Amino acid sequence: MSDDMKRLAAERAVADVTSGMRLGIGTGSTAEHFVRALGVRVRGGLDVIGVPTSERTRALAQEEGIPLTTLEETPALDLTVDGADEIDNALRLIKGGGGAHLREKIVAAASTRMIVIADGSKCVQTLGKFPLPIEVVPFGLGATRNALEKLFVSLGLGGELTMRGGEQHPFVTDGGHYILDAHLTAIPDAETLARALVAVPGVVEHGLFIGLADKAYVAGTDGVFEMTAGSEV
Protein backbone atom coordinates (compact mmCIF):
# COMPACT_ATOMS: atom_id res chain seq x y z
CA MET A 1 0.00 0.00 0.00
CA SER A 2 2.79 2.43 0.90
CA ASP A 3 4.51 1.82 -2.43
CA ASP A 4 1.25 2.51 -4.27
CA MET A 5 0.89 5.78 -2.37
CA LYS A 6 4.44 6.80 -3.25
CA ARG A 7 3.67 6.15 -6.90
CA LEU A 8 0.49 8.26 -6.74
CA ALA A 9 2.36 11.19 -5.19
CA ALA A 10 5.11 10.90 -7.81
CA GLU A 11 2.63 10.82 -10.67
CA ARG A 12 0.93 13.95 -9.31
CA ALA A 13 4.28 15.77 -9.29
CA VAL A 14 5.07 14.71 -12.85
CA ALA A 15 1.90 16.54 -13.92
CA ASP A 16 3.57 19.79 -12.78
CA VAL A 17 6.48 19.30 -15.18
CA THR A 18 6.28 21.20 -18.47
CA SER A 19 8.43 21.19 -21.57
CA GLY A 20 11.58 23.26 -21.37
CA MET A 21 12.08 22.69 -17.64
CA ARG A 22 15.46 22.08 -16.06
CA LEU A 23 14.81 19.56 -13.32
CA GLY A 24 16.51 18.40 -10.16
CA ILE A 25 15.77 14.71 -9.78
CA GLY A 26 15.79 13.27 -6.27
CA THR A 27 16.94 10.01 -4.74
CA GLY A 28 15.07 7.26 -2.91
CA SER A 29 12.15 4.90 -3.37
CA THR A 30 9.55 7.64 -3.92
CA ALA A 31 11.82 9.58 -6.26
CA GLU A 32 12.32 6.42 -8.31
CA HIS A 33 8.59 6.38 -9.02
CA PHE A 34 8.94 9.97 -10.21
CA VAL A 35 11.82 9.04 -12.52
CA ARG A 36 9.83 6.21 -14.08
CA ALA A 37 6.74 8.38 -14.55
CA LEU A 38 8.88 11.17 -15.99
CA GLY A 39 10.47 8.68 -18.39
CA VAL A 40 7.04 7.81 -19.77
CA ARG A 41 6.34 11.47 -20.48
CA VAL A 42 9.79 12.03 -22.01
CA ARG A 43 9.27 9.12 -24.37
CA GLY A 44 5.94 10.72 -25.24
CA GLY A 45 7.64 13.94 -26.32
CA LEU A 46 8.19 15.97 -23.13
CA ASP A 47 11.32 18.11 -23.57
CA VAL A 48 13.19 18.39 -20.27
CA ILE A 49 16.70 18.01 -18.94
CA GLY A 50 17.59 16.79 -15.46
CA VAL A 51 20.30 16.88 -12.82
CA PRO A 52 20.33 13.63 -10.79
CA THR A 53 21.14 13.81 -7.08
CA SER A 54 22.93 10.45 -6.89
CA GLU A 55 24.64 7.89 -9.06
CA ARG A 56 21.70 5.56 -8.45
CA THR A 57 19.26 8.15 -9.78
CA ARG A 58 21.56 8.87 -12.71
CA ALA A 59 21.55 5.21 -13.73
CA LEU A 60 17.75 4.93 -13.53
CA ALA A 61 17.21 8.19 -15.43
CA GLN A 62 19.51 6.99 -18.20
CA GLU A 63 17.57 3.72 -18.39
CA GLU A 64 14.38 5.75 -18.76
CA GLY A 65 15.87 7.87 -21.55
CA ILE A 66 15.76 11.16 -19.62
CA PRO A 67 18.34 13.69 -20.91
CA LEU A 68 20.77 14.65 -18.17
CA THR A 69 23.08 17.54 -17.40
CA THR A 70 25.18 18.78 -14.49
CA LEU A 71 25.11 21.89 -12.31
CA GLU A 72 28.35 22.95 -13.98
CA GLU A 73 26.60 22.97 -17.35
CA THR A 74 23.19 24.07 -16.01
CA PRO A 75 23.68 25.88 -12.69
CA ALA A 76 20.12 27.19 -12.35
CA LEU A 77 17.17 24.81 -12.27
CA ASP A 78 13.42 25.40 -12.49
CA LEU A 79 12.16 22.61 -10.26
CA THR A 80 13.43 19.84 -8.01
CA VAL A 81 11.21 16.88 -7.14
CA ASP A 82 12.36 14.69 -4.26
CA GLY A 83 11.10 12.57 -1.41
CA ALA A 84 11.50 13.05 2.34
CA ASP A 85 11.98 10.89 5.41
CA GLU A 86 9.96 13.33 7.52
CA ILE A 87 7.98 16.48 6.80
CA ASP A 88 6.24 18.86 9.22
CA ASN A 89 3.51 21.44 8.63
CA ALA A 90 6.08 24.19 7.99
CA LEU A 91 7.51 22.09 5.13
CA ARG A 92 10.69 21.45 7.09
CA LEU A 93 12.20 18.12 6.15
CA ILE A 94 14.53 15.41 7.32
CA LYS A 95 16.23 13.79 4.34
CA GLY A 96 19.21 11.52 3.90
CA GLY A 97 17.87 8.06 4.60
CA GLY A 98 19.34 7.08 1.26
CA GLY A 99 22.64 8.83 1.97
CA ALA A 100 22.32 11.45 -0.78
CA HIS A 101 21.27 14.54 1.20
CA LEU A 102 24.40 16.56 0.36
CA ARG A 103 23.77 16.41 -3.37
CA GLU A 104 20.02 16.66 -2.81
CA LYS A 105 20.44 19.90 -0.87
CA ILE A 106 22.82 21.40 -3.44
CA VAL A 107 20.38 20.63 -6.24
CA ALA A 108 17.35 21.85 -4.30
CA ALA A 109 19.11 25.11 -3.44
CA ALA A 110 19.91 25.64 -7.13
CA SER A 111 16.21 25.32 -8.02
CA THR A 112 13.53 27.99 -8.16
CA ARG A 113 11.02 25.56 -6.62
CA MET A 114 11.07 22.24 -4.77
CA ILE A 115 8.18 19.79 -4.64
CA VAL A 116 8.27 17.00 -2.07
CA ILE A 117 6.56 13.69 -2.77
CA ALA A 118 5.69 11.35 0.08
CA ASP A 119 3.16 9.01 1.58
CA GLY A 120 1.24 10.07 4.66
CA SER A 121 3.47 8.15 7.07
CA LYS A 122 6.21 10.76 6.54
CA CYS A 123 4.13 13.62 8.01
CA VAL A 124 4.95 14.51 11.63
CA GLN A 125 4.10 17.22 14.15
CA THR A 126 7.74 17.50 15.28
CA LEU A 127 10.82 16.42 13.35
CA GLY A 128 13.25 13.97 14.89
CA LYS A 129 11.77 10.53 15.20
CA PHE A 130 13.62 9.58 12.02
CA PRO A 131 17.37 9.60 12.74
CA LEU A 132 18.99 12.81 11.49
CA PRO A 133 21.80 12.05 8.99
CA ILE A 134 24.97 14.07 9.42
CA GLU A 135 27.54 13.71 6.65
CA VAL A 136 31.11 13.97 7.95
CA VAL A 137 34.68 13.87 6.66
CA PRO A 138 36.45 10.60 7.60
CA PHE A 139 39.52 12.53 8.80
CA GLY A 140 39.21 13.50 12.44
CA LEU A 141 36.08 11.42 12.91
CA GLY A 142 36.55 10.98 16.66
CA ALA A 143 36.89 14.71 17.23
CA THR A 144 33.89 15.46 15.05
CA ARG A 145 31.80 12.90 16.92
CA ASN A 146 32.82 14.39 20.28
CA ALA A 147 31.95 17.88 19.10
CA LEU A 148 28.53 16.73 17.93
CA GLU A 149 27.77 14.96 21.19
CA LYS A 150 28.69 18.10 23.15
CA LEU A 151 26.51 20.17 20.82
CA PHE A 152 23.49 17.95 21.42
CA VAL A 153 23.96 18.19 25.19
CA SER A 154 24.24 21.98 25.00
CA LEU A 155 20.94 22.13 23.10
CA GLY A 156 19.19 19.74 25.47
CA LEU A 157 18.95 17.01 22.87
CA GLY A 158 19.50 13.41 23.92
CA GLY A 159 20.04 10.33 21.85
CA GLU A 160 22.65 8.04 20.39
CA LEU A 161 24.99 8.93 17.53
CA THR A 162 25.66 5.89 15.33
CA MET A 163 27.83 5.22 12.29
CA ARG A 164 25.79 4.41 9.19
CA GLY A 165 26.82 0.91 8.13
CA GLY A 166 28.67 0.18 11.38
CA GLU A 167 32.12 1.08 12.69
CA GLN A 168 33.89 -1.68 10.76
CA HIS A 169 32.25 -1.09 7.38
CA PRO A 170 30.94 2.49 7.26
CA PHE A 171 28.54 3.53 4.54
CA VAL A 172 30.39 5.79 2.08
CA THR A 173 28.46 8.51 0.25
CA ASP A 174 28.89 9.40 -3.42
CA GLY A 175 31.12 12.23 -2.17
CA GLY A 176 33.40 9.86 -0.23
CA HIS A 177 32.13 10.82 3.23
CA TYR A 178 30.66 8.95 6.20
CA ILE A 179 27.24 9.45 7.77
CA LEU A 180 26.56 9.68 11.48
CA ASP A 181 22.89 9.15 12.32
CA ALA A 182 21.65 11.16 15.30
CA HIS A 183 18.79 9.42 17.11
CA LEU A 184 17.36 12.54 18.73
CA THR A 185 13.68 11.48 19.04
CA ALA A 186 12.49 15.10 18.74
CA ILE A 187 13.95 18.33 17.34
CA PRO A 188 11.94 21.20 18.85
CA ASP A 189 14.04 23.94 17.20
CA ALA A 190 15.21 22.72 13.81
CA GLU A 191 16.55 26.11 12.71
CA THR A 192 18.89 26.46 15.69
CA LEU A 193 20.17 22.92 15.29
CA ALA A 194 20.73 23.38 11.56
CA ARG A 195 22.85 26.49 12.11
CA ALA A 196 24.85 24.83 14.89
CA LEU A 197 25.62 21.69 12.91
CA VAL A 198 27.22 23.48 9.98
CA ALA A 199 29.54 25.29 12.40
CA VAL A 200 31.11 22.00 13.57
CA PRO A 201 34.44 21.34 11.80
CA GLY A 202 34.26 18.02 9.98
CA VAL A 203 30.53 18.26 9.26
CA VAL A 204 29.94 18.43 5.51
CA GLU A 205 26.14 18.67 5.56
CA HIS A 206 23.11 17.54 7.54
CA GLY A 207 19.67 16.23 6.64
CA LEU A 208 17.58 19.18 7.86
CA PHE A 209 16.05 20.89 4.82
CA ILE A 210 14.59 24.23 5.92
CA GLY A 211 13.14 26.87 3.62
CA LEU A 212 13.65 24.79 0.49
CA ALA A 213 10.33 23.05 -0.14
CA ASP A 214 7.46 25.04 -1.68
CA LYS A 215 4.82 22.34 -1.48
CA ALA A 216 4.37 18.62 -1.05
CA TYR A 217 2.15 16.02 -2.61
CA VAL A 218 1.27 13.59 0.15
CA ALA A 219 -0.59 10.41 -0.75
CA GLY A 220 -2.94 8.61 1.63
CA THR A 221 -5.89 6.28 1.52
CA ASP A 222 -8.12 9.18 0.45
CA GLY A 223 -5.91 10.21 -2.45
CA VAL A 224 -3.18 12.82 -2.91
CA PHE A 225 -3.22 15.93 -0.71
CA GLU A 226 -1.41 19.11 -1.73
CA MET A 227 0.41 20.40 1.33
CA THR A 228 1.75 23.92 1.78
CA ALA A 229 3.31 25.67 4.77
CA GLY A 230 0.75 25.79 7.55
CA SER A 231 -1.29 22.84 6.31
CA GLU A 232 -2.60 20.42 8.90
CA VAL A 233 -0.42 17.34 9.25
Query: Could you say which of 104, 191, 226, 232 is catalytic?
Result: 104
CATH classification of the domain holding 140: 3.30.70.260
What's the whole-model pTM score?
Answer: 0.96
Instruction: Please indicate, yes or no, if residue 25 is contained in any of the structural domains.
Output: yes
For the annotated binding site for substrate, the residues are 27-30, 82-85, 95-98, 122
Contact 45, 67 (CB under 8 A): no
Do 99 and 145 have their domain in common?
no
Q: What angle do CA 77, 80, 81 make, to 5 degrees?
A: 160
Q: Catalytic: 226? A: no
Question: pLDDT in tens for each of the 233 residues of the chain?
Answer: 589 999 999 999 999 999 999 999 999 999 999 999 999 999 999 999 999 999 999 999 999 999 999 999 999 999 999 999 999 999 999 999 999 999 999 999 999 999 999 999 999 999 999 999 999 999 999 999 999 999 999 999 988 999 999 999 999 999 999 999 999 999 999 999 999 999 999 999 999 999 999 999 999 989 999 999 877 76
* Domain of residue 149, residue span: 132-205
Instruction: Please indicate, yes or no, if residue 232 is contained in any of the structural domains.
Output: no
Q: How far apart are CA 74 and CA 15, in angstroms?
A: 23
Q: Which residues have CB under 8 Å from 221's CB, separation 6+? A: 1, 120
Number of domains in the chain: 2
Instruction: Please indicate, yes or no, if residue 105 is contained in any of the structural domains.
Output: yes
